[in-house]
Structure 1
Amino acid sequence: MLRHLDIRDMLLIDRLELAFRPGLNVLTGETGAGKSILLDCLGFVLGWRGRADLVRAGASQGEVTAVFDLPPGHPARTLLDEAGFPVSDELIIRRVNAGDGRKTGWINDRRASGEVLRMLSELLVELHGQHDDRGLLNPRGHRLLLDAFAGVDLAPTRAAWAARRAARAALERAEAALAAARGEEEFLRHAVAELDKLDPQPGEEAELDTRRRAMQGAERIREDVARALQALGPEGAEGAMLDAARWLDGAAERAEGRLENPAAALQRALIELGEAVSGVEAALEAMDFDPRDLEATEERLFALRALARKHDVLADDLAGLADELRARLSRIDAGEGDLARLRDAVAAADAAYDAAAAALSQQRAAAAERLDAAMAAELAPLKMERAVFRTRLSEAEPGPEGRDIAAFTVATNPGAPAGPLDRIASGGELSRFLLALKVCLARGNDALVLIFDEIDRGVGGATADAVGRRLARLAEGAQVLVVTHSPQVAALGGHHFRVAKSVQDGMTTSQVTALTASQRIEEIARMLSGEEITPAAKEAARALLQV
């Protein structure tokens, strides 16, 4: 609900504070008094695109503040939360128009762009007038209005559409992947055969390289080690030392003990020499290899490295590469089976969507008949009993909300061809069509503030009374603001505001006054009789107000 509107230095308004209430709020006043200025200011604070010269002459800037009540569950709460604005039961929107044309907006004291304001306004206010291009006259919104009237649940169709899209996307990806894989199938089969033949193992390159280096080193030093063993053995140092030991042993008895220490040292040296010989023999045995082993080791090592370079991977990654290539081959081999399964899934998803869309179309067709009947009942009291309203459904491209296009058409006279609402009806007829539609489509939802700008223009008497009663009916479930020249409509308002223009010190300004019961009699009498308010006009006003 729009609770408060504060306007400063905008057009003909220097300072104006308005407090609106639930129900039917009517604004009246003479032509040119400034009633449309209020709508211009409200549209400005809500980010609507409109006239550029809004700042009052002589003012540096203009400013409008609108305060809305947001009950729990109001859709604007979700938008505010998603946009990062604080959410509470009170929504304050303020917008400033600088003298140079720059516009700055705030939502709950945080800067907001015009685009966010416009998005928010669609959840707060709905404007209807003779030249309405934002509401019921927009053909793109007719299906949404029909769905709201029917109370359909779009969730099953949207879910079926999402499943259909997902199934088709999965099939397309599989077909593309299979086509790409088939383009490299020959390469894959050759590469896998080559890798399988070599059968590389993780860590094998390092092991082969170590073994190769060991064999290459052994080949270089083995001859020297063999010579060393020969020099140390029986024909070398060991034999000479044994001979020396025998000679010393034979001479020891005659040496009077002088050879005991040398003989003992020689025995120790023989023991150490024996250990050295054993060690050299073991080393020589370890260096003993078949030259063919070195050749085989080198061949495998070089083969591993060559294959790694070919596939631009490390030698240790060849085993993993082989697994990956085999998996790609498996996908090719299993591709046709997967495609068949995915095609079955697409067919099932298509059938589910077709069923959901068909059920939705049936609901819309039934709702269209009910809406047409309801419109006929509403048009008769509005003196349009000869007009024919029809909701036409035609097939459209499939989408998440079915495959129907809805269009509201009218024929204003019997036998006349039906056509789009905004092309067939005249201004006064269009106003009544819009009002009848709004009454039929109303669901007691107070989320939107409904504004009707002179929607009763061109009608009077009983028709104007019928218009007013329908506006009052709408106001039972929503806040309604009506700019009107009709006394019948004004008399049915729950809250009455008069817009007047005055000149002071050469400056023209507009004022808006909330009327008391006696002031309402005066205003409605003026609307009935003109400038001179007669007693008869006052009596007629009292009769309209039923006071």
Structure 2
Amino acid sequence: MLTALSIRDVVLIEALDLDFAPGLGVLTGETGAGKSILLDSLGLALGARADSGLVRHGATQASVAASFDLPADHHLTSVLAQNGLDMEPGEPLVIRRVVKADGGSRAFVGGQPVSAALLRELGAYLVEIHGQHDDRGLLAPAGHRTLLDAFGRIDAGACAVAHRAWREAEAVLAAARAEIETAARDREWLEHTVAELEALAPEPGEEEMLADRRRGMQRAEKIADDLRAVEGYLTDGDGGLSQLRQAARILERIAPDHPALAEALAAVDRAVIEGSVAEDKLIEAARELSFDPRAQEEDEARLFDLRGMARKHRVQPDDLAALAADLRGRLDRLDSGEAGLGALEADVAAKEAAYTAAAQALSTARAAAAARLDAAVATEFAPLKLDAARFRTLVEPLPRENWGAHGRDRVEFLVATNPGAPFGALMKIASGGELSRFILALKVALAEEGGAETLIFDEIDRGVGGAVASAIGDRLSRLARGAQLLVVTHSPQVAARGDQHLLIAKSHDGTVTRTGVRVLNTDDRREEIARMLSGAEITAEARAQAERLIAA
């Protein structure tokens, strides 16, 4: 609901702050007082095109801020969140627009800068403006299907699920066909490559294992001479270990002759033991580092083959096994492709049939809802002086390429204003005054399904009076029970129905003309309605009639 509007330096408005109440708010004033300026200001805040001509003469910029109270579960909350504009619970939503006198504009939501496009999107959820120049809301055929579904309590969820399943099955079939067609063109290459890879039989991790083993063989080859030299120093006939053993044998004979000789024998024995350990380790190392040159050549050849195949197919050597499996799978699917396609085609056909059934159920429900809506709108025509008019909700099939999650129907509201005249779109058939009344009849019949919480009707009572104006006032009052309505009116019958009455007037100080708006109290309201009844001179009878209208 719109709660406040703050306007600065817009055309004739220097500074204006308004608070709005729930229910039916009426805006009155003499012709030329500036009612259109007020609506243009609100439209600017809602994302309308920024025109530097709106900036008051002598000012550098114009600004408009509008404040809205939204319920916690309002759909707009998720739209704001998707755009990084989270609202604090209980806080009003404030949107603001600034237009510079030299061109250009800026938009803000909750103090954060946003695009004008986002402002227009938000504005569509917040306020509906209906008038003879409006080309949105009820006049836009794009939204008629949604309005009809809301009126008829029609749930398109099952159809949407069926449509998604059908399209997904079609995508799987198309991908399978494309793969088979590609594979068929590449069969010779596939067969050769699969045979080549399967002959090579690569395994994950094999390249690293071969490289490690090759490095080990190359290192062993480099230290082989050093190992042989050490072995000679230790174990040959003239080697150190052999000589230590000979020394130990001699010391064993003479060790009893002196304690120091016994100690020397013990030391030599320890050296022999350590030397023997060294000899065992040399033998172990030589055994483990030994290699077969033929095996080395085979490993190197295998390693080069793996790396060459990987370069050929632009993959890592460890990915060759997966590539072989993938290509083998493609070749197998090509061989059995026709049978597989048959199953996929059957799945698509079954899911299309399920979608068709769901869409047909929607069409049937829409046709029934359309008949009820036509009857409901027709009952509103006579009181609104549209006796000769006819209304029809067109539900017709869409071309196959336009079928979607919401079914196969195009829905449009059509009218014929004269007997025998053909039906046509509201914008093309109805005149300005008729158009506003058609919109009101539709709004009453739809009972606000799918609409914004704030509705503005601009001179909906233009060209009518008496009983018709009273009927318009009655219907506006009924609509205001479920939504906030703001109505620009010249009709005292409509003005008398208002829960809040705002008077728009011009003032002059000799040099500057300004437009102002004030909320009327009970006495001022009676005077304004009396003025609307009698004109420039307010008579006692006009005041009495105004009292009767308000009391009624």
TM beyond 0.5:
yes
**Mapped contact 1:158–1:400 kept (Cα < 8 A):** yes
State how far apart, in whole Å, the 2-side matches of 1:26 and 1:116 are: 29
Q: Give the CA deviation at 1:467.
A: 0.9
For 1:20 and 1:306, the matched residues in 2 are separated by: 83
**Per-residue deviation, 1:389:** 0.6
Deviations 1:277-322 (A, max 9, x none): x99xx99x98xx99xx8568646743652464144179x9767524
1:546/1:305 CA distance change after superposition, 3 Å: same
Q: Distance in 1 between matches of 2:222 and 2:549?
A: 121
Q: Is the 8 A contact 1:181 1:328 kept in 2?
A: no
Indicate the percent of aligned positions where both proteins have the same amino acid: 48
Q: In structure 1, how many angstroms separate the alpha carbons of the residues matched to 2:199 and 2:450?
A: 76
Aligned 8 A contact 2:3 2:19 in 1: yes
Return the alpha-carbon distance in structure 2 between the equivalents of residues 210 and 83 of structure 1: 58
Q: Is the 8 A contact 1:464 1:488 kept in 2?
A: yes
3-state SS, counterpart of residue 408 of structure 2: strand
The CA deviation at 1:323 is 4.8
SS at match of 1:496: strand
- The amino acid across from 2:12 in the alignment is L
> What's 1:70 paired with?
70
Distance, in Å, in 1 between the alignment partners of 2:347 and 2:536 is 76
- Is the partner of 1:456 in helix, strand or coil? coil
Whole-angstrom distance in 1 between the partners of 2:51 and 2:317: 72
Larger Rg: 1
Given candidates 96, 107, 112, the residue that maps to 1:105 is: 107
Change (3 A) 1:125 1:356: same
C-alpha contact 2:415 2:425 (8 A) present in aligned 1: yes
For 1:116 and 1:214, how far apart are their aligned partners in 2?
70
Task: Give secondary structure in 1 for the equivalent of 2:445.
Answer: helix
Q: Given that residues 76 and 125 in structure 2 are in contact (C-alpha distance below 8 angstroms), is that contact kept between their aligned partners in structure 1? A: yes
Distance 1:187 1:536, change over 3 A: same
Within a 5 Å distance, the mapping from 1:107-506 to structure 2 comes to 107-199=109-201, 202=206, 205-206=210-211, 209=214, 298=297, 301-302=300-301, 305-306=304-305, 308-312=307-311, 321-335=320-334, 336=337, 337-396=339-398, 397-443=402-448, 447-506=452-511
2: CA distance between counterparts of 1:438 and 1:487? 22
* Superposition deviation, residue 502 in structure 1: 1.5
Q: State the one-letter code of the partner of 2:96.
A: R
* Cα 1:321–1:423 shift into 2, 3 Å: same
Farther-moved stretch of structure 1 (179-188 vs 14-23): 179-188
User: Offset at 1:121?
Assistant: 0.7
Report how far residue 334 of structure 1 moved.
3.2
* Structure 1 runs, 4 residues or longer, greater than 6 Å off: 210-221
Return closer, same or farther for 1:404/1:106 CA change in 2, 3 Å cut-off. Answer: same
Amino acid at match of 1:325: A
Partner Cα distance (1:444, 1:406) in 2:
16
Residues 349 and 40 (structure 1 numbering): CA distance in 2 closer, same or farther, change over 3 Å? same
- In the TM superposition, residue 540 of structure 1 has moved relative to its aligned partner by 2.0
Question: Is the Cα contact below 8 Å between 1:185 and 1:329 reproduced in 2?
Answer: no
Shift of 1:59: 2.3
- CA RMSD, 1 decimal: 4.1
| Aligned partner of residue 53 in structure 2, secondary structure | coil
Distance (Å, rounded) in 2 between the aligned partners of 1:406 and 1:398? 13
Letter in 1 for 2:6: D
Confirm or deny: 8 A CA contact 1:526 1:537 kept in the other structure: yes
TM-score, normalization by structure 1: 0.82
Gap change, CA 1:193 and 1:475, over 3 Å in 2 = same
Task: Encode CA deviations 1:402-433: one digit per residue, 9 max, x unaligned.
Answer: 11111111111222222222112222222211
Task: Provide Cα deviations, 1:38-66, integer angstroms capped at 9, x if missing partner.
Answer: 10111112221254311212223222221
Equivalent in the alignment of 1:242: none
TM-score normalised by the chain length of structure 2: 0.81
Letter in 2 for 1:121: G
> 1:175, CA displacement in angstroms?
2.4
How far is the alpha carbon of 1:374 from its aligned partner? 0.4
Q: CA deviation at 1:190?
A: 2.6
- Partners of 2:546 and 2:305 in 1: CA distance: 105
Match of 1:516 among 518, 521, 526: 521
486 and 325 in structure 1: CA distance in 2 versus 1, 3 angstrom threshold: same
CA distance in 1, matches of 2:187, 2:504: 82
**Secondary structure of 1:104 counterpart:** strand
The answer for unaligned runs of 5 or more in structure 2 is 230-235, 243-267
* Distance of 1:192 and 1:93 partners within structure 2: 65
Residue 177 of structure 1: how far off its partner (Å): 2.7
Where do 1:17-36 residues align within 5 Å?
A: 17-36=17-36
Pick which of 303-312 and 41-50 moved more. Answer: 303-312
- Could you say if the C-alpha distance between residues 206 and 507 of structure 1 is closer, same or farther in structure 2, counting changes exceeding 3 Å? closer
1:67-108 superposed Cα distances (whole Å, 9 cap, x missing partner): 211122122222222222234331122222233233223222
One-letter amino acid matched to 1:402: G
> What CA distance in whole angstroms lies between the structure 1 residues aligned with 2:219 and 2:72?
83
Aligned counterparts of 1:211 and 1:431: Cα–Cα separation in 2: 92
Instruction: Report deviation, 1:387.
Output: 1.3
Aligned pairs, how many?
515
Correspondence for 1:58 = 58
Q: Secondary structure at the match of 1:329?
A: helix
Superposed CA offset, 1:137-194 (max 9, x none):
1122221221221222222222222222222222222322333333433333333333
Deviations 1:417-466 (A, max 9, x none): 22222112222222211110111112478852000000111111111111
Judging changes above 3 Å, is the alpha-carbon distance between structure 1 residues 33 and 204 closer, same or farther for their aligned structure 2 residues? closer
